[in-house]
């Protein structure tokens, strides 16, 4: 299955996920525009986020003040960013219409169960949820191929997650990431892709939160089997994830470069091309 059994050491079949997340700002029209942008850029999938507000956040937090386009409290802001069932049905229908995969990262068990009705091909566990082992177990029991982000987690905590997935015979791709938004490039530590691969012998991807393109290309060259990047129509838009996202031109640039890797990396066999042989006869006068 794409992203779980491919060999990206030569750049083949790197699964590219456009993370819409909550950058749609509760606007279904904008969500569809972002989905189309991802499709037109050559991405393999788009991803959303799903939360049950009263589970993920405390009552005290939701009462706190927060100015936003939806009101003056944290509750109004958080609820303004959530799509309901009918809106997700439109997302599901539109994904089929433009022929792109969609899935979502659930932040609680009811949200995970809610997503099952759409029969999406993948699950995603966000870094924030990776140490909630009750939730991890619930996801793994479904047996569906799952991407697991590893920001803010130790190797020991990641091992706990991996053991749960192995116990449930559930395919898993670990996603190296730094959970700062946006992430300073000096904190990306992309060599952890190699570290995770050597320690766990699993497919390793990269979820980037930096505003630039090049680190994701480096991650692909280091063997990442999947690349996930937040996307936006405008990085100056309202929202905590917007500044860590790629706009359309950056996304297209990234996808084009990643898909070029198989061509430029080749197979590693040293040979002389037919054209080089002709050139050699011209330049090597002593032959």
d(CA 100, CA 159): 32
User: In the structure encoding, which two tokens stand for residue 192, read together?
Assistant: 């952890």
User: Residue 238 has what pLDDT?
Assistant: 84
Other CB atoms closer than 10 Å to residue 80's CB: what's the count?
Answer: 15
3-state helix, strand, coil in the chain (%, to 5): 45, 15, 35
User: In the structure encoding, which two tokens stand for residue 6, read together?
Assistant: 């491919």
User: Residue 7 has what pLDDT?
Assistant: 46
Among 11-25, 78-92, 175-189, 206-220, the range scoring the smallest mean pLDDT is 11-25
d(CA 223, CA 214): 15
d(CA 200, CA 148): 13
Helix, strand or coil, per DSSP, at residue 2: coil
Among 2-6, 96-100, 133-137, the range scoring the smallest mean pLDDT is 2-6
DSSP string, 202-241: S-EEEEE-SS-SHHHHHHHHTT-SEEEEEB-S-TTSSSTT
Tens-digit pLDDT profile for residues 231-285: 999 887 887 888 888 999 999 999 999 999 988 888 899 999 999 999 999 999 8
Helix axes 192-200, 155-167, angle to 10 degrees: 40
User: Residue 9 has what pLDDT?
Assistant: 42
Matching residue, tokens 């939360």: 51
Arithmetic mean of pLDDT, 46-50: 98
User: Residue 4 has what pLDDT?
Assistant: 56
Residue 231: is it exposed, middle or buried by C-beta count within 10 angstroms (0-12/13-18/19+)? buried
Arithmetic mean of pLDDT, 169-188: 96
8: pLDDT confidence band, cut at 50, 70 and 90? Answer: very low
Which residues, listed in sequence order, are joined to residue 172 by a DSSP beta bridge? 146
261: nearest Cα among 205, 223, 234, 221 = 221
Peptide bond into 182 cis (omega under 30): yes
Distances from the Cα of 274 to the Cα of 277, 278, 282, 286, 287, angstroms:
5, 7, 13, 19, 17
CB 205 within 8 A of CB 173: yes
Arithmetic mean of pLDDT, 8-28: 82
d(CA 214, CA 250): 10
Other CB atoms closer than 10 Å to residue 198's CB: what's the count?
Answer: 9
Query: Where do the domains of the chain lie, and which CATH numbers do they carry?
Result: 8-50+98-283 (3.20.20.70)
Arithmetic mean of pLDDT, 180-188: 94
CB 8 within 8 A of CB 149: no
218: nearest Cα among 200, 191, 238 = 191
Tens-digit pLDDT profile for residues 49-92: 999 999 999 999 999 999 999 999 999 999 999 999 999 999 99
User: Residue 11 has what pLDDT?
Assistant: 43
């Amino acid at each position: 299955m794409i992203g779980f059994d491919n060999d990206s050491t030569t750049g083949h079949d790197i699964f590219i996920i456009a993370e819409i997340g909550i950058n749609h700002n509760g606007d279904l029209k904008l969500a569809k525009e972002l989905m189309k942008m991802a499709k037109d850029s050559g991405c393999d999938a788009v991803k959303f986020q799903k939360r049950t507000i009263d589970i993920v956040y405390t009552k005290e937090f939701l009462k706190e003040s927060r100015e936003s386009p939806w009101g003056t409290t944290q509750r109004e802001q958080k609820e303004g960013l959530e799509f309901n069932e009918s809106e997700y049905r439109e997302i599901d229908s539109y994904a089929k219409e433009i022929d792109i995969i969609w899935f979502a990262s659930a932040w609680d068990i009811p949200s995970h169960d809610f997503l099952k009705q759409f029969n999406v091909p993948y699950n995603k566990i966000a870094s924030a949820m990776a140490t909630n082992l009750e939730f991890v177990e619930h996801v793994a029991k479904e047996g569906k191929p799952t991407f697991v982000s590893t920001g803010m987690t130790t190797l020991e905590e990641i091992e706990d997650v991996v053991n749960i997935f192995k116990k449930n015979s559930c395919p898993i791709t670990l996603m190296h990431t730094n959970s700062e938004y946006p992430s300073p490039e000096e904190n990306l530590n992309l060599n952890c892709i190699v570290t995770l691969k050597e320690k766990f012998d699993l497919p390793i991807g990269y979820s980037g939160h930096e505003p630039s393109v090049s680190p994701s290309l480096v991650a692909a060259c280091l063997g990442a089997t999947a690349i996930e990047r937040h996307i936006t129509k405008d990085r100056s838009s309202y929202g905590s994830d917007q500044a860590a996202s790629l706009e359309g031109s950056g996304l297209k640039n990234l996808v084009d470069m990643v898909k070029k890797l198989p061509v430029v990396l080749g197979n590693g066999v040293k040979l002389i091309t037919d054209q080089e042989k002709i050139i050699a006869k011209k330049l090597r006068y002593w032959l």
